[in-house]
Chains A and B, each alone.
Chain A
């Protein structure tokens, strides 16, 4: 699952990936509710992986679960169908591909998300964003381009909940009395 080169340096005494707690076998008479909660909690912990702030990765990261990065990553990060969170201490110099990307740290590279990119307060992105939805908080830094993949005549690429494409807006404008490509007449 993980492609790491020799530059990976896990923290001394601290695992980069938290291990799931071991649950002792329970007797048949044990209550069913705690047993149901425990496996679910383990499943949730297994589904989110954290990369600690002293971890440095150079290369390509691929995964099939949600990932939070607090360390340094250079190269490429690919998390199809999952959420990538760049924590406040995270510094990314990579091309990023994920279902959703939440930025609280720094990203230097292009970001492509199939659902949403969210740059939070104090988050920073220098690069191009391709995503149907983009949210940028007031205190965030962003420099680059935003492409929400709104292409005329291609409904499949519309943003979720979108009711009209630019082509439809343009067609509707063409039906208005004012002419196209001319300065609008003051009302």
Chain B
């Protein structure tokens, strides 16, 4: 069965829900996600960690189609809370204790674009934790902005798995927008001992990186 077949089982009311919710939605391509899904589906009863805001469609997809046990830890809410409380300088220390899971717990980790909202110390703290809790041969998917953030209201993005190589991006308000992009060499160094398995620079100037332990 190809990955595309899994997407054909999506419920037909997903599009209606998006339209009726009124959320701003952009449909964008992804190249690393199909690789991530392929790696995940090759594992028996995969355990997945999703750091993004909870998306019902994604829970349904990963749970029903890929048979994953999914852990949802909305890191964007934590960033929002710290930003609103003016405690962002405490965020690296918070991240160091944020994940009580044992080492080598997850077959797959979805970071989405959370690193775009973190300063260097916070990004390093999060990357270290993710490297710790990822299982050997597990995969981690992360998106990084490759250009300076555009001016405008600050938003977070819900990434909704749609087609095999397509994500629906639904924006919602944020207390703080994206920060300056992290250099590629710093990204690679940050995630050690994970290695870069696949990397794509899209036309949208977003870098998609698939790490493997």
A130-183 interface with B by 8 A CB criterion? 133-138, 140-148, 150-152, 159, 162-170, 172-174, 176, 178, 180-181, 183
A184 touching B54, Cβ below 8 Å: no
Q: Interface readout for B26-44 with A: 1 if CB under 8 Å, 0 if not?
A: 0000010011001101111
A37-61 interface with B by 8 A CB criterion? none
CA A172 – CA B59 in complex, angstroms? 22
B47-65 interface with A by 8 A CB criterion? 54-56, 59-60, 63-65
Which bucket holds chain B's interface residue count?
35 or more
A146 touching B137, Cβ below 8 Å: no
B168 to chain A, nearest CB (A): 12
B190 to chain A, nearest CB (A): 20
A166 touching B66, Cβ below 8 Å: yes
A146 touching B66, Cβ below 8 Å: no
Contact partner, B59, options A146, A150, A170, A183, Cβ 8 Å = A146
B54 touching A166, Cβ below 8 Å: no
Contacts of A134 in B (CB 8 A): 56, 59-60, 63
CA A80 – CA B42 in complex, angstroms? 35
Query: Does B89 sit within 8 A of A, measured CB to CB?
Result: no
B41 touching A166, Cβ below 8 Å: yes
The interface size of chain A toward B, counting residues with CB under 8 Å, comes to 39
A23 to chain B, nearest CB (A): 41
CA A106 – CA B106 in complex, angstroms? 28
B69 touching A159, Cβ below 8 Å: no
CA A143 – CA B6 in complex, angstroms? 26
A137 touching B39, Cβ below 8 Å: no
A181 touching B137, Cβ below 8 Å: yes
Query: Does B88 sit within 8 A of A, measured CB to CB?
Result: no
Given contacts A134-B60, A169-B67, A173-B38, contact A164 B45 (CB under 8 A): no
Q: Is the interface of B mostly helix, strand, loop or mixed?
A: mixed
A131 to chain B, nearest CB (A): 9
Query: Does B15 sit within 8 A of A, measured CB to CB?
Result: no
Given contacts A135-B56, A144-B71, A145-B70, contact A170 B63 (CB under 8 A): no
Query: Does B197 sit within 8 A of A, measured CB to CB?
Result: yes
Query: Does B72 sit within 8 A of A, measured CB to CB?
Result: yes
CA A159 – CA B158 in complex, angstroms? 26
CA A140 – CA B69 in complex, angstroms? 19
Contacts of A162 in B (CB 8 A): 64
A142 touching B72, Cβ below 8 Å: yes
Query: Does B21 sit within 8 A of A, measured CB to CB?
Result: yes
Contacts of A169 in B (CB 8 A): 1, 6, 41, 65-67
CA A144 – CA B63 in complex, angstroms? 14
CA A178 – CA B43 in complex, angstroms? 14
Query: Does B192 sit within 8 A of A, measured CB to CB?
Result: no
A166 touching B63, Cβ below 8 Å: no
CA A180 – CA B117 in complex, angstroms? 34
Query: Does B19 sit within 8 A of A, measured CB to CB?
Result: no
Given contacts A145-B69, A169-B1, contact A136 B63 (CB under 8 A): no
What 3 pairs between A and B have smallest CB-CB spacing? A166-B67, A150-B67, A136-B56
Starting from the known contacts A147-B63, A173-B38, 8 additional A-B residue pairs (CB-CB under 8 Å) come to A136-B59, A140-B56, A146-B70, A150-B63, A159-B64, A166-B66, A169-B6, A184-B198
Residues on B close to A: CB < 8 A? 1-2, 6, 9, 17, 21, 23, 31, 34-35, 38-39, 41-46, 54-56, 59-60, 63-67, 69-74, 137, 158, 197-198, 210, 212
